[in-house]
Amino acid sequence: MKGFQNTILVIVILVLSAQLAHFTYMKFLLPTDSVLDDELDESIKSTTSLDELVKQFERSELEVKAFEESLSPEENRKMYRRDIEPYESNRKLRQAIQNWERKQAQIDRLLYQWTIGLLLALAGTALYLKRLSWIGTALIVAGLAEMIWWCSPAISVGGSISELERILNIKLILTLATVGVFAGNWAAWRRTGQENIS
């Protein structure tokens, strides 16, 4: 059992240290702006909530409606709307809202799955301390694997800077919490191993 636990220790330290290095780089060193960003993109990227994006989109919808009302029926039929204002701004805002909602769904799933992993690890620790070492260890490993998997570095960079910050902060915090959970499990393994020796 001790050899298996040492193997788990090495693997978990390897994976979690790589994740922490990756998230630290993304949070503090990754460039978040581009010379190609235009004014609208900057207002989208600096948005701090979905409500702000929705308000911008509602204003954009009013601008589109006012623009269409200023056109004759003939001009309205012939117009290609994709690449001219106010249609382009409206399209970008719609995409930003969809992007935000997708990222929020990712965060919700991340928190749910990580919590399941935490519960598995805690149940495993309780069983391990009750001398059901193999079952407990199996649940601990399953829980840690779930927690590590869902904190893994798959993060898309597009969208608002605050969206990226939110996901990064959550993943960084959960990775640190996973380190804490693993340290607690490691202490339980060590303590139980020493009790068995004495």
Q: What is the pLDDT of residues 132-182, one digit of tens each?
A: 888 988 999 999 999 988 888 666 555 556 677 788 888 889 999 998 988
With a cut of 70, say whether residue 68 has pLDDT above it: yes
Nearest CA among 162, 48, 33, 159 for reference residue 94: 159
On the question of pLDDT at 100 being above 60, the answer is yes
Q: How far is CA 76 from the centre of its chain?
A: 42
Question: What does the pLDDT read at residue 34?
Answer: 53
Between CA 26 and CA 91 the distance in angstroms is 28
Could you tell me where the DSSP H helices lie in the chain? 2-28, 39-45, 50-70, 73-78, 87-129, 133-150, 161-197
Note the pLDDT of residue 79.
Answer: 66
DSSP, res 49: S
Q: What is the mean pLDDT of residues 46-74?
A: 83
Alpha-carbon span 39 to 92, nearest angstrom: 12
CA distance linking residue 42 with residue 31, whole number of Å:
14
Non-local CB neighbours of 47 within 8 Å, separated by 6+ positions = 53, 56, 96, 160, 162
What do you get for the CA distance between the two ends of the chain, in Å?
Answer: 17
DSSP assigned state of 129: H
In this predicted structure, which of 12-16, 33-37, 55-59, 109-113 has the lowest mean pLDDT? 33-37
Q: What is the pTM of this model?
A: 0.69
As a whole-number percent, the residues of the chain with pLDDT over 70 amount to 80
Q: What whole-number percentage of the chain has pLDDT above 90?
A: 14
Average pLDDT over all residues of the chain: 80
Of 52-61, 66-75, 103-112, which gets the smallest average pLDDT? 66-75
**CB under 8 Å to 26, separation ≥6 — which residues?**
153, 155, 164, 168
pLDDT value of position 27:
78
Query: pLDDT tens digits, residue range 102-125?
Result: 888 888 998 999 999 999 999 998
What pLDDT is recorded for position 78?
A: 66
pLDDT of residue 197: 41
